Amino acid sequence: MSSKRLFTHALLSLAVLLASCNKAAEDKQQASAPVPIPKPEVVVREELDPRELHTLAGHSEWVDLVAFTPDSGTLATMCSRDQTIRLWSVETGEELHVLTGHSEFIWNISISPHGRYLASGSKDDTARIWDMASGEQLHELKAHGDNVRWVDFSPDGSLLATASADSDIRLWEVTSGRCRQTLSGNQYGVTFVDFSSDGKLLLSGGLDKIGRVWNVGDGSLLQQLDAHKDQVYTGMFTPDGKHAVTAGDDKRGYLWDPMTGEKLKTYGGATDVIFGMAISPDSQWAVLVSKERSINMWPISKGQSEPHKLEHRNVVGSACFTPDGNYLATGSMDHTVRIWSVPDLVEKHSLDSCKDIITSVAISPDGRFLAAGCADHTARIWQLAD
């Protein structure tokens, strides 16, 4: 199978938002906006001691994505091809629930900031919201006319953004399942959406080669980020909200001021499509993941002309930071997960118990656990620290 097949979950397409409200309604929305849910306390760990806890077997195809709940107690695993999502106890490895209902390939999942809900987007043109405690489907969101490629919860957990190959983004009220806004404006499908940390802005990018920044309150377009020469596959706000990073098919990443739309830096160094990224919790580092054997790690605030390269023996498909920012984990087609110290970028550990391609990696919000999805139809959990 090609490496592109492996990482289809990261090459997602979605559209962009545009709606209008009058000034009075906007002021009312902003005045009553819920406060983002506080994140778990970060424990700084100078040393890690990885040891494998569980092999999670149950899926009938590659495990494409893994994601922890905010309390670090549950792991969600997504298998695009068997059309299921499974929930597991991190401590015991017990399978808690199997979420079934999608009739086609599942593209993406997202867990709400309070951990109550999981959202999924699928090739069956729907998004779904699930209750994490019971495993029951709460809402089937059916307004899109094509693949739902990306889903993302707002920081306060009240809204879900869905983006589709139909070139629309929709904002849904999570509790009611009602579509609050349809945000239109792209010529083609949109590949990602990302809420800012305060929930006021939404970043998107798509097949029309343009990144966009939107006002969540009224759906207005704030900035158009126009520099890419090809499809924009991935993007994120920095945790401090000061910058946005976009990257894509043109093998370039760009750093932006989201409020002015000014392009601040160009990140080169990639030799193939950039389809994923990770940004450090302190907003100091941007990691760009492309279809090659190394990842490019850039300091966000410095004028460095060349990236730091972290090498594997085969294509790297996923990267994530520990919550304290002291370590970076990378997963590869060479069957290993590697853990690197930050900022000196020394390889500290190589986890090689998976005997097939690593499709995705995730680190729990408390920093104690690491999970990896594998092409052998399993997921693995390691304990990093007590």
Q: Domains of the chain: which residue ranges? A: 3-19+45-383
Query: For residues 266 and 142, what is the distance between their CA atoms, to the nearest angstrom?
Result: 38
On the question of pLDDT at 24 being above 70, the answer is: no
**Structure letter (DSSP) for residue 10:** G
Averaged pLDDT for residues 214-218: 95
d(CA 23, CA 71): 38
More confident residue, 182 or 118: 118
- What pLDDT score was predicted for residue 35? 64
Q: Is 31 helix (H, G, I), strand (E, B) or coil?
A: helix
- The CATH label, of 3.20.20.70, 2.130.10.10, 3.30.70.2190, 3.40.50.2300, for the domain at 3-19+45-383 is 2.130.10.10
For residues 130 and 93, give the distance between their C-alpha atoms in angstroms, rounded to a whole number. 21
Cα(295)–Cα(272) distance, integer angstroms: 11
Regarding beta strands 84-89 and 95-99, do their DSSP bridges make them parallel or antiparallel, or are they unpaired?
A: antiparallel
CA distance 212 to 191: 12
- 288-302 per-position pLDDT tens digit: 999 888 889 999 977
Task: Tell me the pTM.
Answer: 0.89
Secondary structure (DSSP) of 121-189: EETTS-EEEEETTT--EEEEE---SS-EEEEEE-TTSSEEEEEETTSEEEEEETTT--EEEEEE--SS-
With beta carbons less than 8 A apart as the criterion, state whether 281 and 302 touch: no
pLDDT band, very low/low/confident/very high, at 44 (cuts 50, 70, 90): confident
pLDDT tens digits for 218-229?
Answer: 999 999 999 999
* Nearest by Cα to 383 from 41, 118, 45, 77: 45
Q: Which residues pair with 153 in a beta bridge?
A: 160
- Candidates 266, 275, 273; CA nearest to 251 is 273
